Each structure stands twice: as C-alpha cells, then as structure tokens.
Amino acid sequence: MVTDPIADLFTRLRNGYMASKPVIEIPHSKLKETLVAILRKNKYVASYEVSGDAKKSISITLNPTKLNDPIPTFKRISTPGCRLYLKSEEIRKSRSGRGIYILSTPKGMITGYEARSLNV
C-alpha cells in the first residue's frame, strides 16, 4: 500500500524519463487522473489512457527526450506531514516561468497561473 500516491506518481514519472521508457503504468485514482490531465495540458507528458474494468490503471506516454533535452523535474512541496497553504497573492512563478505549480483549490485542481487569475 502506498501512503503518498502523488509522490509515487511523480517518482514513477521521473524514473520513466530517466530510463527513457516510452510508456509507464500507474494504478488509477481520480486524483492521479486529474494530475496527469494537467500535465498533459501543459505538455509534460504526451498522452494518457485509462484502461481496465475492475482494477483500472493509467498508461502514460512520455514525451521522447533527446540527449540534449533536460529531463522534467517533479517535486512535491506540500506533503502529508507538512501541509502548505497559500493566498492567491503568494503564488509565485515556478522556475522563472518555465515550470508550473499544481494546486488543490475549491475550484478543483488547477495550475498556479489559473489560480492567480481566478484569485483563489
């Protein structure tokens, strides 16, 4: 049993990119599917597909990386043991505008840019 499914998702993505795997499989949950959809929208993964009936899984197709391309980094800031709460004015740009923050808000899971514009 995984105690932190989001960190497990990020670890599997990071390991898949470092091993140059074209496709990775992760166990399904609605939270993971929403996170992967946001990563797909922001072009961190190529595509994803939910498969299975009783025991669902998500197949994620990773973007092909070349030797000169930087591997995307995924980092969890708010952990289950130490939650982080921010006001909309406190949300800053990630990696000088080259990255994204994914936030859980009353409007659902959105990026930091959307949270600032919606003022949530």
Q: Going along the chain, which residue ranges are E strands?
A: 23-27, 45-51, 57-62, 102-105, 108-111
Torsion of CA 74, 8, 76, 52, to 10 degrees: 80
Burial of 113 (0-12, 13-18, 19+ CB in 10 A): middle
In the structure, what pLDDT confidence band is assigned to residue 68 with cuts at 50, 70 and 90? low
Are 59 and 2 members of one domain?
A: yes
Are 54 and 95 members of one domain?
A: no
- Total number of domains constituting the chain: 2
CA separation for the pair 39, 45 (Å, rounded): 6
Q: What is the pLDDT of residues 6-32, one digit of tens each?
A: 999 999 999 998 888 999 999 999 999
Could you tell me the two tokens for 94?
């990630």
* Residue 73 forms part of a structural domain: no
Are 92 and 49 members of one domain?
A: no
* Residue 89 forms part of a structural domain: yes
Structural domain of 107: 85-120
3-state secondary structure of 75: coil
Are 6 and 37 members of one domain?
A: yes
Alpha helices for 19-102 (secondary structure H): 30-41
Are 60 and 1 members of one domain?
A: yes
Q: What is the pLDDT of residues 30-53, one digit of tens each?
A: 999 999 999 999 988 999 999 998
Question: What pLDDT sits at residue 92?
Answer: 84
CA separation for the pair 17, 13 (Å, rounded): 6
